[in-house]
Structure 1
Amino acid sequence: MNELKLSKRLEAVAALIPRGSKLADIGSDHAYLPAYSFLNGFITFAIAGEVVDGPYHTAKNQIERLQLTEKIKVRKGNGLEVVHSGEVDVITICGMGGALIASILEEGKDKLSNIKRLILQPNISSISVRKWLIDNNWSLIQEEILEEDEKIYEILVAERTGNPLVSYTEGNLEKELLLGPFLSKEKNPSFIKKWTAEKKNWERILKQMKEAKVSDELLEKMDEVRKNIHFVEEEIK
């Protein structure tokens, strides 16, 4: 992977960036996504944000090598603190846990007033991201799920369209938050594979719970696991 050829996952993210955007890529690693997006004419300006020294210096060297320092600013900082208000209109956050992505957005809420689109790729716990979006009046407008190198990734796209619940139409918000309102409608092979594996894992966990010492907390957790199993069974019959 480099600035000319992204991974399948990041290529899918790049394809979701509106043309002519100004981008902030948080947790940019080698800055491949902003570099690729600029070189292919998707964006006119980018910030590549990194909080860790190693990736920050790698990204900085990469952008200097490509002679893109005027168009892509590599900044070191935590989350959205690398972005100044009004600088960008699209934010990408990829390759982190859903809870961490949600906390980055929460802590940087003051930077989101001019943002038109969020493109978020949580490695786990997409439900944390979907809940944050609803709580903060962002509408989920598109979802993708794909497999690469035997790992399955979800990509969530959100904009401010007025009603954060507009995409949740099936009458069971809890289930759609877990599985994804768009993904559960499409049910592509990656979706089926992901949730078949999750169901099997939950069944194993439930079996272990039944052998553990009973407590109110355990019983509550068992109910949650059973409910999730039921949700998945309803979707992948």
Structure 2
Amino acid sequence: MTSLTISKRLQTIARYCPEGARVADIGSDHALLASYLLVKGIASFVIAGELNEGPFQAAKKQIHTLQVKDRASVRKGNGLAVLEPGEADVVCIAGMGGQLIVSILEAGLPKLEGVQRLILQPNVGEEAVRRWLLNQGWQLVAETILKEDGIIYEILVAERGVPTVPYENKDRPQEDLLRIGPFLWEEKSEILLEKWSSEAEKWQKVLLQLQRSDKPEAAQRIAEIEREVKWINEVIACLRTDKP
């Protein structure tokens, strides 16, 4: 079987896939993760789902080069519609917005029957994903934050369980930890500090623009952003002083 090189982001996702699992990768990005899981002998079977014809054909071509047709299935369809209930142990959804990930999970709830683990990598909107997991009975069991090619990514791993557990007995309220990430908050990495420092800079720029505005609605928006900046700066201060 040929060797395969994938990004650090996808390698991190792959590490969260249990050995021998049947893995469905939804929005598979040319089936690179699915291929890697087969090449490394991690997954026993992979399903690569694609919505559009171009990526679907590219995924089929990629899987074909591995000559593992009996252990892989490339399917065209919207989100979890490519799955049958009980067909996968692990579902990966990576490289799209958090709200889109939530909508895919919500629309495909019946297809999650038998799924033991979700591995989710939202490009933005991590809070929306954590909130959905909390409300749907999925317990966060791990989080990773990493930087690759100048972009910061968060990977969330959840299993069926008691969804409030990761947020209990922490030094910050649940609402804060839904935004920051309970495991990321415990780790307090330099990358997490970089992420929130960047957020603070972004909102400061917006604030400066609004302060130059003479529109009547600007005052209310300024007050909202000032509260946001104050919250972020307090988070940053804690990240700087509470290093493990």
Above 0.5 in TM-score?
A: yes
Q: How far apart are the structure 1 equivalents of 2:66 and 2:228?
A: 49
Q: How far apart are the structure 1 equivalents of 2:135 and 2:153?
A: 23
Matches within 5 A, 1:112-123: 112-123=112-123
Unaligned residue ranges in structure 2 (runs of 5+) = none
Structure 1 residue 221, shift from structure 2 partner: 3.8
Name the structure with the higher helix share: 2
Please identify runs of 4+ aligned residues in structure 1 that moved more than 6 A. Answer: none
TM-score by length of 1: 0.92
2:175 maps to what in 1?
A: 174
2:56 maps to what in 1?
A: 56
1:195 maps to what in 2?
A: 196
Structure 1 residue 211, shift from structure 2 partner: 3.6
Tell me how large the CA RMSD over aligned residues is: 1.8
Q: CA 1:160–1:79 in 2, change beyond 3 Å: closer, same or farther?
A: same
Q: Is the 8 A contact 2:27 2:94 kept in 1?
A: yes
Q: Is the 8 A contact 2:14 2:33 kept in 1?
A: yes
Structure 1 residue 219, shift from structure 2 partner: 5.9
Q: CA 1:127–1:68 in 2, change beyond 3 Å: closer, same or farther?
A: same
Task: State the percentage of identical aligned residues.
Answer: 45
Q: Secondary structure at the match of 1:6?
A: coil
Matched, 1:46 2:49: no
Matched, 1:24 2:27: no
Structure 1 residue 218, shift from structure 2 partner: 2.7
Structure 1 residue 233, shift from structure 2 partner: 3.1
1:207 maps to what in 2?
A: 208
Q: How far apart are the structure 2 equivalents of 1:235 and 1:58?
A: 46
1:11 maps to what in 2?
A: 11
Q: Secondary structure at the match of 1:236?
A: helix
TM-score by length of 2: 0.90
Q: How far apart are the structure 2 equivalents of 1:107 and 1:224?
A: 34
- The one-letter code of the counterpart of 1:47 is I
Q: CA 1:224–1:45 in 2, change beyond 3 Å: closer, same or farther?
A: farther
Matched, 1:134 2:134: yes
Structure 1 residue 214, shift from structure 2 partner: 3.6
Structure 1 residue 220, shift from structure 2 partner: 6.9
Q: Secondary structure at the match of 1:45?
A: strand
Structure 1 residue 89, shift from structure 2 partner: 0.8
Matched, 1:100 2:103: no
Structure 1 residue 47, shift from structure 2 partner: 0.5
**Per-residue deviation, residues 187-213 of structure 1 (Å, max 9, x unmatched):** 112111111111111122223333442
